[in-house]
A and B are shown apart, each in its own frame.
Chain A
Amino acid sequence: MTTRLPPGDSRSAPGSEDAGSSPSAAAAVPVIHARGLAKSYPEGPAVRGIDLTVPAGQTFGFLGPNGAGKTTTIAMLCTLTAPSAGRARVAGHDVTTDAHQVRRHIGLVFQDTTLDQGLTAWENLRFHARLHGVPASTAQTRARELLDLAGLSHRRDSLVGTFSGGMKRRLEIVRGLMHRPRVLFLDEPTIGLDPQTRAQIWDHLHRLRRQEGITLFLTTHYLDEAEHCDRIAIIDDGQIIAEDTPAALKTVIGADRVELRTNDDRAATAQLRDRFGLDAVADGDSLWLRVEDGAAFVPRMCSALTVTIRSVTVTRPSLDDVFFHYTGRTIRETDQPEAGR
């Protein structure tokens, strides 16, 4: 891991602090480090003291329903909102006492577009680059490189107003990277996009990770997206209720879910208890149970049961299950009140 300095930029930024220590020590310093971070509004607390440690190069997912405090947390880490309590260092700088330095080293992609629709893609990028002190010549090459990566090179000089939703989002990600930030914050990067476009955005983000080695910190309430992350923190009601890798979080649920339809559920339940010591749960016209290795269990079950089995479905534990496990609600349920706004 090397410390990445913006090219052509001689200011004493992040390298100056890491200069004394060895490269491996620099890599060990977390890019985001928060302790007891909290934010209260007159209406009540939004974030109730959270701890975060995100090492460099990781993709960190912040998962939770709307109103859980995700956006407020990002706003505090990005110096847009002052924390009511606690401390946070981002890219080696304190978010409250050294906001300008933090801003130099982070990129932020907001939930809804913040592009100037009346300017071209390049003009938007140039605006951002100059505002962040990137020299003109560097901005040119950087824009070319990033637009290529985003598959937007051919639209460099088109007005952003003519772009589709997915293109705008990709351009926004490109813009957030113009000044070579160390962390890119993405607040719901795929919200409001169709599944195909969402997949495109993720392809783009994965390519960026490979080529730029950047740390990604993103919030989402799409559970399937959390699977793209190295680590996930589940936030609910302003608190982190679980934090681990997606795989580890799923092992909390433990097992695969096997759902079967039979001609005689009662007999099937009895036989499952006798032969395997498993308690099947009746759910409408089907049964389900949890087993360690669903794929291996199904053939054994089929040969052991004497009742006719009409269908079997094996589902790996999803993050939805994880969320349910910790909160007793599904994410979709918690979203209901806000769905109509």
Chain B
Amino acid sequence: MNVPAPALAAPRAARRLTGELAALLVIWQRDMLHYRRDRFKILVTVLQPIMMLTVLGAGLASLLPATPGGADYRTFLFPGMLMMTVQAPAISAGVALVTDRQSGFLREIVMAPVRRETVLIGRCLGGASIATCQGALLLPLAGIARLPYDPITLALLLGEMVINAFMMTALGVLLAIAITRTESFYAVLSIVTMPLIFLSGAMFPVSGLPGWLFSAVLVNPVSYAVDALRRTTVARLPGPVPATLFDGPRWGGWRPPVLLELACIVVAGVAMLALASRRFSRNP
């Protein structure tokens, strides 16, 4: 192949970039098309956290006497439910990758003159968008959790869900890339997701856990995701908040600020995505 003239190199790189961006967009678009078409799935995925919030929340709320304008167990549970709502469709991005491999569609993607990283980033953006949409559907229930409909709080929660969804999607994609056998993938998925949620403080406070379990909480990125959401929900709450219940992961007694927590989530997401890309480039 001829060596391109130096003058041509720059526009060629630019064309290359627009090509990759177009690919990214169309991969995202395909995921959104699938999402919009499956109304039933949208409903079912939202239903589970709603049931947990109303049934489990109502049952356990009696353990914690509510103060006027303050937090109770449902307030505590709400961020966890947001996380669970985001987590399921985000992990589905990995499932979609496995399905594409099974149906053969993955080969259509792999055959395209597009970088493998682009394919995975597109997938993650698609999964994160869907997950955020699902999470947004739950926000109107803030009232059940005794939260005022404060636009700033809701906007912040939505923003945090985007970040959390991205990290969870990256995890799902990494698992899908690392485990090529479909059956093993589903087995690993169920083994991995349960402790991620249970050891994140989504359902119960982590401060009471024994030391060895607490270390698991500290390395679990979902802990920071849940804690960031939780601190945002109560930040503008007029009434009192029970401190021990709403405590989060601490690094040797120091509680990292929300922004640092979010940064950790982004780093974890990017790291998993990079790992997945590397594997995918070698062995689709």
Contact indicator A101/B107 (Cβ below 8 Å): no
Complex contacts, A116 vs chain B, CB 8 Å = 30, 103, 105, 108
Find out whether the CB atom of A132 lies under 8 angstroms from the CB atom of B112: yes
Chain A 96-129 interface 0/1 with B at a Cβ cutoff of 8 Å (1 = within):
0110110110001010111111110001001110
| B103 neighbours in A (Cβ, 8 Å) | 113-114, 116-117
CA distance A139 to B8 in the complex (A): 26
In the complex, chain A residues whose CB is within 8 Å of the CB of B253: none
Which chain B residues border A16 with CB–CB below 8 Å?
Answer: 2
Residues from chain A with a CB closer than 8 A to the CB of B107 are 80, 110, 114
Alpha-carbon distance A127/B15, docked complex (angstroms): 19
CB-CB contacts below 8 Å: B1-46 with A: 1-2, 4, 8, 12, 15, 19, 22-23, 25-27, 29-30, 33-34, 37
A290 at the interface (CB under 8 A from B): no
CB of B108 within 8 A of CB of A114, answer yes
Q: Are B22 and A133 in contact (CB under 8 A)?
A: yes
- B1 near A130: Cβ-Cβ < 8 Å: no
B114 CB–A CB distance under 8 Å: yes
For B8, B107, B108, the residue with the greatest tally of chain A CB atoms inside 10 Å of its CB is B108
Of the candidates A92, A127, A131, the one having the most CB atoms from chain B within 10 angstroms of its own CB is: A131
Contact B104–A110 (Cβ < 8 Å): yes
Count residues of chain A with CB under 8 A from any CB of chain B: 34
Question: Are A123's CB and B1's CB within 8 A?
Answer: no
- Closest residue of chain B to A118 (Cβ to Cβ) is B34
CA distance in complex: A94, B30 (Å) = 32
The answer to whether A341 has its CB under 8 Å from any CB of chain B is: no
B60 on interface, CB distance cutoff 8 Å: no
* A17-B1, A116-B105 known; A108 vs B22 contact (CB < 8 Å): no
- Would you call B216 an interface residue if the criterion is a C-beta within 8 Å of the partner chain's C-beta atoms? no
Which residues of B lie under 8 Å from residue A17 when comparing CB positions? 1-2
| Given A11-B15, A126-B26, A131 contacting B104 (CB threshold 8 A) | no
In angstroms, Cα B37 to Cα A116, docked, is 13
- Report the Cα distance A97→B1, complex, angstroms: 9
Is B275 an interface residue, CB under 8 A from the partner?
A: no
Residues of A within 8 A of B105 (CB): 114-116
Inter-chain contact A119/B30, CB cutoff 8 Å:
yes
Query: Could you show 10 A-B contacts with beta carbons less than 8 Å apart?
Result: A113-B103, A113-B104, A114-B106, A114-B108, A119-B34, A123-B33, A127-B26, A131-B26, A131-B27, A131-B109
